[in-house]
Structure 1
């Protein structure tokens, strides 16, 4: 078996590139097959949804641990080298608070869910779209 390579970086993706919509900043750390540059089969896909903003604290440790790329690298370090890590930042904020309205379509102006209708699996479809569109960019 050939040794694996890891690609880590930041991509900006839309849920549906054909009709526009909000961008998601996604830090990705993927295990690749070095000769074909295709995805290797990971043991786990770890998906982390980055929450509220904490920038500007003045504390260098908090600032470093708040960067999405660093979070992806920490996930890989903690979970093992055969992991693909995805750190998804919210496309919308209400002040410092993350709003993931694309996953829970019924939210108020502050981003609080009114209710959740699982018909059509909107959250799952959004996650798959983000992962797929991230891979397309990589």
Structure 2
């Protein structure tokens, strides 16, 4: 089964300066059966433990997801655009946060802010891939 894999750093959309690093492993030979989206979480650096450090690699995680769910699955691994020290802050997915990444109000699903951000992020990723393929 043919797959395309890469890691790109892209903006959420054209109006933001925040860039997300995304690893993808996409099924090309058939219609994918599912999309697995994994938000990578906090930073891990120089632990001395090769297993932990290997599992922090975005492309490695995407490959593991495909190995667990099957070759007909698209795997997306998203790293936060902002960190508070080692802690990931996904501020584009939660409408109201302080500078530490803590929500300042209860989450409101009105307008689907998290889902809209995910769709925007993956759409921007695919546009970047298609633009690179054409150029």
TM-score, normalised by the number of residues in structure 2: 0.90
**1:137 matched to 2:128:** yes
RMSD: 1.1
SS in 2 for 1:42: coil
1:119 deviates by 1.7
The aligned residue for residue 132 of structure 2 is none
2:59 match: secondary structure: helix
* Matched residue, 2:101: 111
Q: What secondary structure is seen at the aligned counterpart in 2 of 1:74?
A: helix
1:121 aligns with 2:118: no
Which stretch has the larger CA shift, 78-87 or 52-61?
52-61
Gaps of 5+ in 1: 34-39
- Residue equivalent to 1:12: 9
Which runs of 5 or more structure 2 residues have no equivalent in the other structure?
A: 130-135
Higher mean C-alpha deviation, range 90-99 or range 52-61: 52-61
How far did 1:21 drift?
A: 2.2
Q: How does 1:15-94 map to 2 (within 5 A)?
A: 15-17=12-14, 19-33=15-29, 40-94=30-84
SS in structure 1 at match of 2:61: helix
User: Normalising by the residue count of structure 1, what TM-score does the alignment of the two structures yield?
Assistant: 0.88
Task: Give 1:86 deviation, angstroms.
Answer: 0.3
Q: Secondary structure at the match of 2:121?
A: helix
> C-alpha separation between the residues in 1 aligned to 2:103 and 2:16?
23
Secondary structure of the structure 2 residue equivalent to 1:21: coil
Following the alignment from structure 1 to structure 2, what is the Cα–Cα distance between the partners of residues 41 and 129? 21
